[in-house]
């Protein structure tokens, strides 16, 4: 009975808002790292804490989603880079700089700016909606009632944001270290390794989203959307994105424009460029070279 009354209340709210829906949502994104996997074999708790603090700018970000009924613009708030060592994954992540992302759920259009190794690209794509499973589970997020949806997202081999440590190798090698001589030899071997061999990208990840039908726009943070309401919280792998503030019917939401900066490419073309550049970087590393061809 409570569920029925809740649904009726939401339907009434939607009927009133659907014609002129617009607003701005602030999202806080946090990513956790398995330091035992990425941080070396003999790191103290203080060392792990120090590295996590230095990687904070990469792991904690703030985004603004400006939206109306059909369109949205997703931008990252600027921050100062603190700089840190983080192995192969950080090296790869620092090569990317995500820009503005535009979505139109009516035309199924997605346009985003990306900087990769100093070159600006304008990626034109269609919205790849997840095959969501809607549930009756709900919770309160701020002043909104949010419902849970789950799905599976397929990844490409260039989705480095979901990279993880290859399993098993560290544990096996840790058991072999018995004295200082072996430790030194192990360090020398590590310095000669291709850093990207340390990581792998899974084929797919599970996604959990919490959306509110009280804000009837089928969008959300990043590329995510396709639900009957704005996504307020999203969990993907080790990343949680949570809406911390919503301003409805703000004046600047009527001027949502597509990004225009960069070389225009399709998603497939961009992924090919990233893959080729990654292989080039790995070949240079193995050969001790520092050069590389330009785009």
Residue 294 lies in a domain: no
Q: What was the pLDDT predicted at 295?
A: 61
pTM above 0.95, yes or no: no
For the residues 130-140, what does the mean pLDDT come to? Answer: 96
Is residue 96 within 8 Å of residue 158, measured between CB atoms? no
Residue 62 lies in a domain: yes
Q: What was the pLDDT predicted at 167?
A: 60
Q: Higher model confidence: residue 289 or residue 236?
A: 236
Q: What was the pLDDT predicted at 118?
A: 85
Q: What was the pLDDT predicted at 32?
A: 81
Residue 183 lies in a domain: yes
- The yes-or-no verdict on residue 168 having pLDDT over 80 is no
Q: How confident is the model at residue 293 (pLDDT cuts 50, 70, 90)?
A: low
Q: Name the residue range of residue 214's domain.
A: 2-287
For the residues 221-230, what does the mean pLDDT come to? Answer: 94
How remote is the C-alpha of 273 from its chain's centroid?
20
Nearest to 25 by CA among 221, 209, 227: 221
Tokens 């009527």 label which residue? 254
- The yes-or-no verdict on residue 205 having pLDDT over 60 is yes
Q: How confident is the model at residue 5 (pLDDT cuts 50, 70, 90)?
A: very low
How far apart CA 103 and CA 107 sit, in angstroms, is 9
Neighbours of 15 (CB within 10 A): 10
Residue 295 lies in a domain: no
For the residues 176-180, what does the mean pLDDT come to? Answer: 47
Residue 74 lies in a domain: yes
How far apart CA 165 and CA 201 sit, in angstroms, is 9
For the residues 134-140, what does the mean pLDDT come to? Answer: 97
Q: What was the pLDDT predicted at 54?
A: 63
Residue 11 lies in a domain: yes
What's the pLDDT tens digit per position in 23-36?
A: 999 999 998 876 55
Is residue 96 within 8 Å of residue 61, measured between CB atoms? no
How far apart CA 290 and CA 200 sit, in angstroms, is 24
Q: What was the pLDDT predicted at 72?
A: 95
- The yes-or-no verdict on residue 284 having pLDDT over 90 is no
Q: What was the pLDDT predicted at 151?
A: 96
Q: Hey, what are 154's tokens?
A: 């397929």
- The yes-or-no verdict on residue 77 having pLDDT over 80 is yes
For the residues 42-53, what does the mean pLDDT come to? Answer: 65
Domain count, the chain: 1
Residue 98 lies in a domain: yes
């Amino acid at each position: 009975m409570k569920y029925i009354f809740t649904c009726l209340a939401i339907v009434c709210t939607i009927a009133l808002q659907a014609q002129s829906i617009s607003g701005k949502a602030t999202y806080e994104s946090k990513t956790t790292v398995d330091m035992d996997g990425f941080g070396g074999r003999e790191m103290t708790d203080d060392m792990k804490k120090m590295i996590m603090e230095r990687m904070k700018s990469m792991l904690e970000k703030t985004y603004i989603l400006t939206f109306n009924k059909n369109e949205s613009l997703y931008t990252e708030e600027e921050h100062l880079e603190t700089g840190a060592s983080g192995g192969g994954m950080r090296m790869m992540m620092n090569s990317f700089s995500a820009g503005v992302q535009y979505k139109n759920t009516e035309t199924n259009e997605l346009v985003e700016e990306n900087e990769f190794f100093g070159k600006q690209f304008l990626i034109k794509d269609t919205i790849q909606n997840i095959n969501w499973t809607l549930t009756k589970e709900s919770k309160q997020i701020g002043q909104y009632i949010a419902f849970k949806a789950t799905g599976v997202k397929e990844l490409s081999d260039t989705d480095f944001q979901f990279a993880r440590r290859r399993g098993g190798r560290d544990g096996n090698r840790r058991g072999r270290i018995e004295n200082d001589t072996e430790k030194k030899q192990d360090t020398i071997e590590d310095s000669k390794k291709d850093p990207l061999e340390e990581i792998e990208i899974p084929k797919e990840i599970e996604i959990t989203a919490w959306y509110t039908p009280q804000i009837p726009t089928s969008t959300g943070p990043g590329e995510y959307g396709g639900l009957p309401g704005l996504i307020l919280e999203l969990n993907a792998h080790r990343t949680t994105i949570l809406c911390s503030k919503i301003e409805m019917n703000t004046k600047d939401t009527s001027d949502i424009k597509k990004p225009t900066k960069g070389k225009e490419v399709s998603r497939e073309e961009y992924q090919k460029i990233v893959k080729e550049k990654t292989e080039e970087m790995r070949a240079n590393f193995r050969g001790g070279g520092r050069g590389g061809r330009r785009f």
